[in-house]
Amino acid sequence: MKAMILAAGLGNRMRPLTLYKPKPLLEVGGKPLIVWHIEKLKNIGVTEIVINSAWLADVLIGALGDGSQFGVNIRWTREVEGLETAGGIINALPLLGTEPFILVNGDVWTTFDFSSLLNVELNADLAHLVYVTNPPQHPKGDFVLDQGRSYTFEQEHAGEALTYSGVAVIHPKMFDGLDAGKRPLAPLLKAAMLDGKISAQKMQAAWVDVGTPERLSDLDLQIRQGMYA
């Protein structure tokens, strides 16, 4: 199984920290955010990793290289301008192949055990999403989880409103027939939910959307204090 880490964002909310360093290289607990993901993937035997890049791409690629320092094989895609999530994935499909892959947002941090993703069987589904309890900055959530299936709010389905964690298993078929270019992922997920083709689970682990300098420093302090040991 392969994995893709999304790392092409501008990191505007993290400025001035991201003026000279791409957001995935910002450190918590003495380690870049993206390296936490790489090591977690390596630990479950996922060593073929695709990473997209745009903002300060040369800095990011220069730091991580081909992945050999982590015991993995990293292959890179470059985006002249950020293509958003779905656009970045479509651009990387030639490297990802035709089988389901793990997708991870480069700007989140979690203690979630990725090994459960290896057991996900999509069958006719197009994706399996991992959700978290709604954080303070996103109280209404993104989607609804009910008995292992995911629904949009428009479907008015009973269940718990939760936030997408940025961790998923995606089938390349999700992008069949779509042209390259800037394209967000959320509309594709919603369309697939309306077709009943998205499964999901709620994460039982620590998770932080490292979206502001304050959250970055808070997480760094918590890790160093052993809160997540």
Contact residues for 62 (Cβ-Cβ < 8 A; gap 6+): none
pLDDT band at residue 224 under the 50/70/90 scheme: very high
Q: What is the pLDDT of residue 164?
A: 98
Is 141's pLDDT higher than 90?
A: yes
How many CA atoms lie within 13 Å of 62's alpha carbon, on the beta-carbon side?
7
pLDDT at 210: 92
Q: What is the DSSP letter of 225?
A: T
Helices (H) and strands (E) in the chain, counts: 5, 13
Which amino acid, residue 55? W
- Residue 90, SS3 per DSSP: helix
Residues 157-206: tens digit of each pLDDT: 889 999 999 999 999 999 999 998 999 999 999 999 999 999 999 999 99
For residue 228, pLDDT beyond 90: no
Pairing type for strands 73-78 and 127-132 reads unpaired
How far is 160 from 144, CA to CA, in rounded Å?
Answer: 5
- Asked if 157 contacts 151 with a C-beta cutoff of 8 angstroms, the reply is yes
pLDDT in tens, 76-99: 999 988 899 999 999 999 999 999
Among 4-18, 62-76, 94-108, the range scoring the smallest mean pLDDT is: 4-18
When pLDDT is cut at 50, 70 and 90, the band that residue 13 belongs to is confident
Average pLDDT, the chain: 94
